[in-house]
Amino acid sequence: MSKNDNLLTILWMLNSGEKWTAKQLSEKLEINIRTVYRYMDALCASGVPIISDTGHNGGYSLLHHFIKSPLLFSMDEKKTLLHAARFAQEAGYPLSEALEKATSKLKMYSNQEQERILSHQLAGFEVINRRGYPAVQPVLQELEHAVANEGSVEISYRTRHEEQSPNRVIDPYGVVNWNNKWYTIAYCHLRNEIRSFRVERILTITRTPFSFRRPHEFSARAFFMNNLLPDAVDKSGFISFIVGGRAEALDDLCIHWFLEHHLQERTSTQAVFLLEEESLYTYVPNIILPYGKSIQVIEPQNLKLKLVEVASELMEYYQG
């Protein structure tokens, strides 16, 4: 590490409240003990109130409460950041290398007891997600750079209907992780509108010399969710969907990515949703069929008939 990094590390170690001998500091930093003495002199000369005790229980310590900086984290704050890093890593966070370095520094700038506690707590905390697409990492890094620097990029994109559509220039306004997939919300110069792009469908991405300005207070999350589940102003054409069943099955339905948006009421034995008629008969049968006998449709009656129709079509398909 550089001299400045070593000086900062010493300050962090002393700020733990423990005494450190020159030998301990040299071993921790992997530097010569004479270098430690020079660093301590430099810190003292700069006004840092370091206390030096001689004798058997001697060592260096720092005047209490000298450093009051947001960069010096408490144990709970360190634990929280390390836990959050676990979530980010499992989600396929694009700057994974920088994230790993940051978490390593959090652990490194801790005394032995703090390191032991953090390691013990992290050993019992795991996050499991479905593995994403490894190829999206470099694309995500480029998109993150474009969002942060408001720089346009040129992409080749594979749609659902064609293997490769014409190249287009986009202005990435934000990146969204939803349902274990990454999306970028961007203004598309080819279509002259703001659109969502699945990151794993971006085949190539190239920086351009052009820049853009993101609309004031634009929310990529709000745009994405509104397009995924648009709010209807007039709900006169909506139908109540009432379902009963086992508590764990109802819990699962109530947090389903599509149905949770339409949940109106939940009791211990029932859940009530309000949906458009087209959505009710198009999507809901395929959502609830896998639950089998663990749930029961109470209303509407036509949905029961639709379930019978869909189940019959499946039987006919597989029997054929």
- Indicate whether 90 and 171 sit together in one domain: no
- Indicate whether 223 and 142 sit together in one domain: yes
Q: Phi and psi dihedrals of 171, rounded to 5?
A: -110, 100
The angle that helices 33-45 and 3-15 make with each other, rounded to 10 degrees, is: 80
**What confidence tens digit (pLDDT) does each residue in 276-287 have?**
888 899 999 999
User: What is the Cα–Cα distance from 293 to 268, expressed in whole angstroms?
Assistant: 17
Query: Strand 193-198's sheet: what is its strand order?
Result: 193-198, 181-188, 168-178, 151-157, 202-211
Q: What is the pLDDT of residue 286?
A: 93
Expressed as residue numbers, the domain containing 255 is: 238-319
Q: What is the pLDDT of residue 209?
A: 96
Residue at 245 is within a domain: yes
Residue at 35 is within a domain: yes
- Indicate whether 223 and 245 sit together in one domain: no
Q: What is the pLDDT of residue 285?
A: 94
Residue at 70 is within a domain: no
User: What is the Cα–Cα distance from 170 to 190, expressed in whole angstroms?
Assistant: 8
How many domains, in total, are found in the chain?
Answer: 4
- Indicate whether 118 and 143 sit together in one domain: no
Helices (H), 91-171: 96-108, 112-123, 136-149
- Indicate whether 171 and 250 sit together in one domain: no
Residue at 68 is within a domain: no
Q: How far is CA 152 from CA 57, 139, 212, 223, in A?
A: 61, 14, 7, 19
**What confidence tens digit (pLDDT) does each residue in 241-295 have?**
999 999 999 999 999 988 988 899 999 899 999 988 888 999 999 999 999 999 9
User: What is the Cα–Cα distance from 61 to 15, expressed in whole angstroms?
Assistant: 8
Q: What is the pLDDT of residue 92?
A: 81
Q: What is the pLDDT of residue 236?
A: 63
Instruction: Estimate the share of the chain in helix, then strand, then coil, as percent rounded to the nearest 5.
Output: 45, 25, 30
Q: What is the pLDDT of residue 180?
A: 80
Residue at 130 is within a domain: no
- Indicate whether 145 and 184 sit together in one domain: yes
**pLDDT-flagged residues of the chain (< 50):** 70
Residue at 69 is within a domain: no
Q: Tokens in use for 10?
A: 């010493």
Residue at 128 is within a domain: no
Which of the 8 DSSP states describes residue 215? P
User: What is the Cα–Cα distance from 213 to 305, expressed in whole angstroms?
Assistant: 52
